[in-house]
Structure formats: structure tokens, C-alpha cells
Structure 1
Amino acid sequence: MPKIIERVTAVSQGMQTKVRSKNHELIIDEPPAMGGKDTGSNPLGTLLSALAGCENVIANMVAKEINFDLQSIEFDIRGEFDPRGLMGDPNVRPYFQKVTINAKVKTSESEERVQELQEKTDLRCPVYTTLKAANVDLVPNWVKA
């Protein structure tokens, strides 16, 4: 299979960044306390949003492959980080130390099958595996809704 190139373009003004991805626009900003106008999610919130979206896409692909009755998934994802890193402290990494992924899976399947779906999804999700490669402590908690 040939490699796929994912491309975005971005224009920034102050703290706000308008990103184009194919035919879609995404606004990334900071709240006023950080010098922004709060017109969009901040970058770390956007990363967690990408994780939720990616996990959902991969879970739907995996569900079809393993004949899993996936009706929906509800995510509550929380990332913990020490802000001293992004404020310039070289002894503190500027990204998440821990990300907890709570997922409620609406399905007729058993809890064991939900765990199978979660494990297979996490192995294939590009955003999840990128965070894992960055040594982020990932805590997946998938349960039957």
C-alpha cells in the first residue's frame, strides 16, 4: 500500500490559529487568561479531541472486523500535565504526563468483548499509539454502557 500524506494548512493571528484540513476549518485558541479570545479549543484540548475521534473511527473499523455490535461510544478523556513545562521549565516536559480514557460502549456484547474491542482499537489508533510512543501514561477504562 502506498503511504498517505495527511496535510493541514494554518493561518495564525495572535493566539488564534485557523486550520484547514481538506474542506474543513478548525479554530484553535486559548482562553483570555492565556492571551487568547477563546474562539476555539486550546491545542491540548484539540489533541484530546483528536484522540476521541480516532478511537471512535478505529473502534468502528475493528467492530466490523470482529463482528461486534457497536451502537455508540461516549468518551470522557482527561489529560494531566504540569504547566511549568510549557512555561519554559526545561526540567518538566511540556505535554501530558497522563491521559485517562473513560469510554461507555453501547452494545449487546459482554464486558469481555468490550475489553477485546478496546485492546484491538488501542493497538491500531494512530493518536493513541503516538501518545504511547511519547511515554504518556495512558489509562483506558472502557465499560459497557
Structure 2
Amino acid sequence: MVSSFLVRSSCRAVPRISQQYKLTRRSTIIQSSLYSSSSAKYQKSYKLEGTGEGTKVEITTNTGHYLATDIPKPMGGRDTAPQPVETLMASWMGCTQATALFVGRHLPERLSISKMEFDNIEAFRDERGALQLPIDTTPEIPSRIQRITGTIRVYERRGNPISTEQMELLKEQTEIRCPVANMMLASGCAIDVEWVDGSFAVV
């Protein structure tokens, strides 16, 4: 299925790779090299195996779990599982939750979190970054998620109020320390998600 905004032109023999893409790749390789050489003993790895048939991919992890992704029927898929970007957002939620619990325990004024609610979370991207043609030219628009909005309600275990300072520090350090959120922010994604005290939030 081709969207109306796609730009068509004849294919070229030699793909044109943008200078920005080259510089980004080079920077990533350099950073990876520095990381592996200086911090190898702290490196944590995640190992997965996957098999794709059509638009569906079935994935297993070395920790014994299974997940799958697919895309909706209007996009050419079978809609048998969440979209890859939906699983990315689910990963962000799970990583944020786990990291926030750790951060809360280590705040100067300890914050014991009983529950977090992720409300009306929505991610936005410009699909031209993935679909723009010709295919041998790097799109001018990035394909990544550009913005995330919504609300996170945080509940203190004993129902005590969470101060503004505590909440700001919790949000800041969670986004810095959560591997998924940190990667999103580093890509240029804006995480415009409000953190509020769930005990006093108006639903």
C-alpha cells in the first residue's frame, strides 16, 4: 500500500547515504568501542532469538519468555500481535516502572512506591521517515518516535503525599537511569509525560 505523499523517482545504481547518517553511525561506533574497552566488566547483555514469517515475528528470550509482533491489516499485516512500536512503548513503561522503584528507594527522602499508572500514553512519529521514496535516498525526516505524551500517576505505599521536589527528582533520575527512556531521549525523542501524585490526582 502506497500513501499519497510518497515521492517517486527512478532508481539509481549507487545508493546515496546522507552525511548526517554517516556521522551518526561513526559516532555510534566510536561510543560503542569506548564503552566495550573501558566498562566491559559492567556490561549487561540481553539475548533473544526470533523467527519471522510474513509480517509476524515470534521471539524467545534466554530468560524463558515469549513475545510476538505483527502489524495491522491496513499496513499489510495480519494483526495477530502488537506492533513493534507498541512493544517499544510497553518496554518503556516496564523499564520506567522498575527503574522508578529503584530510584524511589534511594531518594534522600525515601519514597516507597506501591503502584504506578500509565494513563493515555501516546507516541507520535512522522511516517514519511519510513515510507519516503526513492528507497536509495535517506529520508530528510527521521523515522524514530519523536514525542511521547500522557500521564504517570505514582502512588506512595502508605498514602503519604509526594512532594514536588521528590516527584521532580524521581522523574529526572528515572528517565536518566532507565535504559529504554535514556535511549529514546538520546535519539531526540521528547518525553512530554507528566508525573503526578496518584493519591491526589483528579481522574
Q: TM-score range by the shorter chain?
A: over 0.9
2:180 maps to 1:127: yes
1:27 alignment partner in structure 2: 68
**Alpha-carbon contact 1:8-1:19 (below 8 Å) kept:** yes
Once the two structures are TM-superposed, the CA of residue 91 in structure 1 deviates from its matched residue by: 1.6
**Does structure 2 retain, via aligned residues, the 8 Å contact 1:111–1:143?**
no
Larger radius of gyration: 2
| Counterpart pick for 1:84 among 108, 128, 133 | 128
Distance 1:96 1:35 in 2: 21
Give the aligned partner of residue 162 of structure 2: 110
Structure 2: runs of 5+ lacking an equivalent:
1-40, 134-138, 199-203
Contact 1:69 1:109 survives alignment (8 Å): no
SS of aligned partner of 1:86:
helix
> Could you tell me how far apart the structure 1 residues matched to 2:103 and 2:153 are?
16
- Give how far 1:110 is off: 2.1
Alignment of 1:1-145 (within 5 A): 1-21=41-61, 22-66=63-107, 67-76=110-119, 77-89=121-133, 90-107=139-156, 108-112=160-164, 113-145=166-198
Deviations 1:14-64 (A, max 9, x none): 000011112011110001111111111101111111000000010111122
* Deviation, structure 1 residue 8: 1.0
- Mapped contact 1:123–1:129 kept (Cα < 8 A): yes
State the shift of 1:116 in Å.
Answer: 2.0
SS in 1 for 2:161: coil
1:7 Cα offset (Å): 1.1
- SS where residue 131 of structure 2 aligns? coil
Higher strand share: 1
Structure 1 CA distance for aligned equivalents of residues 57 and 161 of structure 2: 42
**2:88 aligns to what SS in structure 1?**
helix
Secondary structure in structure 2 of the residue aligned to 1:138: strand
**What percent identity do the matched residue pairs reach?**
26
1:58-93 deviation per Cα after TM superposition (whole angstroms, max 9, x unaligned): 011112222202110011321111111111351221
Shift of residue 101 of structure 1? 4.5
TM-score of the two chains, using structure 2 as the length reference: 0.67
TM-score (norm 1): 0.92
Name structure 1 gaps, 5 residues minimum. Answer: none
The SS at the match of 2:97 is helix
What is the distance in 2 between the residues matched to 1:83 and 1:2?
Answer: 37
The count of corresponding residues between Structure 1 and Structure 2 is: 145
